[in-house]
């Protein structure tokens, strides 16, 4: 399995952060989930003096062999093109990142073609999961360890918070298959239209996922087995980011459905990882809410987004910035000579 050590979050730091919130001259808990997020970051960073100024979106790019089954509108060549656009700073994730003062690290963890992204390629895409395992167990483990390694590099670089992102034609098929197996739900309940399939193509996509699960018979109690048989290199890499965040004490933001599938894999591989995760938004894909519910995490944004690349995750950052501004700058009851509110 995956060997790493994670510490329990610092509850005392969280208690001090909660005390700070309760000292601010406003109704108790009136910033809701934003207050909870700041307290959670305090626990992760082991200090009530939370800091999220140095932030980075790590985008894992990879191809999926199942694309040959006709489950997408585009072919695999698009993955390499989009990865290169990210490196050039021209993709949606780059535009949003610039607006929220975040860096973007584009990683080629398994693109079929050549890219200018950071080369961490495990293989030139996964194999067709509809006829056999998408990758070997060893390849899946290497991809997870690659994500953990990137988080260690981010720690050395002084990064405060990481947003997970992905790019890979066909990866909604892989995430739906993972969700079906891990949550024990039929593929028709968890499969969405991806980049925009019509009813006929959606029905075909569901049948391909059903066949992949039947052919591979992944063990729902063995997350690495599920990942290897019906997953993708991008999902495996993001799972590593979540595990690495728990290891290094860096909060990691879940983006959409594919990122959430990786988060569930991470939690099943290394229990306790979810204590280091922040849910940004609930995806419009059917699996979005199901996966966050399975992790026991509540999203702060409901906007029916499904763009991917880490775009929704980045949109959490300005909300956290606003919360931190109140947390640090607002008047306190004591400072104003007022009696504190009490929880009744």
Among all residues, which ones are annotated catalytic?
309
Q: Nearest Cα to 110, choosing from 147, 154, 73, 71? A: 147
Contacts with 331 (C-beta within 8 Å, 6 or more apart), sequence order = 24, 25
Tell whether the torsion through CA atoms of 138, 139, 142 and 143 is positive or negative: negative
- Per-residue CA distances from 313 to 96, 120, 131, 186, 274 (Å): 10, 23, 34, 28, 16
DSSP 86: H
Contact 103, 113 (CB under 8 A): no
Angle at 274 between CA 28 and CA 122, to 5 degrees: 145
Task: Tell me how far apart the alpha carbons of residues 165 and 162 are, in angstroms, rounded to a whole number.
Answer: 10
Burial of 321 (0-12, 13-18, 19+ CB in 10 A): middle
Retrieve residue 140's tokens. 């899946």
């Amino acid at each position: 399995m995956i060997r790493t050590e994670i510490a329990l979050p610092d509850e005392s730091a969280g208690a001090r952060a909660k005390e700070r919130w309760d000292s601010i001259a406003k109704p108790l808990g009136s910033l809701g989930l934003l207050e909870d997020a700041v307290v959670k970051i305090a626990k992760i960073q082991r200090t009530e003096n939370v800091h999220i100024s140095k932030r980075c979106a790590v985008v894992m790019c990879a191809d999926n062999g199942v694309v040959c089954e006709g489950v997408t509108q585009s072919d695999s060549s698009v993955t390499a093109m989009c990865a290169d656009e990210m490196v050039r700073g021209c993709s949606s994730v780059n535009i949003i990142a610039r607006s929220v003062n975040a860096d973007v690290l584009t990683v080629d963890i398994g693109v079929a073609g050549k890219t200018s992204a950071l080369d961490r390629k495990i293989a030139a895409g996964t194999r067709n999961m509809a006829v056999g395992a998408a990758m070997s167990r060893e390849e899946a483990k290497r991809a997870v360890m690659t994500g953990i390694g990137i988080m260690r590099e981010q720690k050395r670089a002084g990064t405060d918070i990481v947003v997970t992102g992905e790019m890979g034609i066909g990866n909604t098929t892989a995430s739906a298959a993972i969700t079906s197996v891990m949550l024990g739900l039929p593929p028709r309940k968890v499969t969405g239209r991806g980049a925009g399939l019509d009813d006929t193509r959606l029905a075909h996509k569901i049948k391909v996922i059903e066949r992949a699960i039947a052919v591979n018979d992944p063990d729902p109690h063995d997350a690495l087995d599920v990942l290897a048989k019906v997953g993708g290199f991008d999902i495996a890499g993001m799972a590593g980011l979540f595990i690495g965040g728990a290891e290094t004490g860096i909060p990691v933001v879940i983006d959409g459905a594919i990122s959430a599938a990786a988060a569930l894999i991470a939690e099943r591989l290394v229990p306790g990882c979810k204590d280091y995760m922040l849910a940004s938004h609930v995806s419009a894909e059917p699996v979005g809410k199901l996966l966050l519910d399975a992790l026991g995490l509540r999203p702060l944004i409901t906007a029916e987004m499904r763009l991917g690349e880490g775009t929704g995750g980045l949109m959490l950052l300005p909300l956290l910035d606003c919360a931190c501004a109140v947390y640090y700058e607002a008047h306190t009851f004591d400072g104003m000579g007022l009696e504190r509110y009490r929880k009744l």
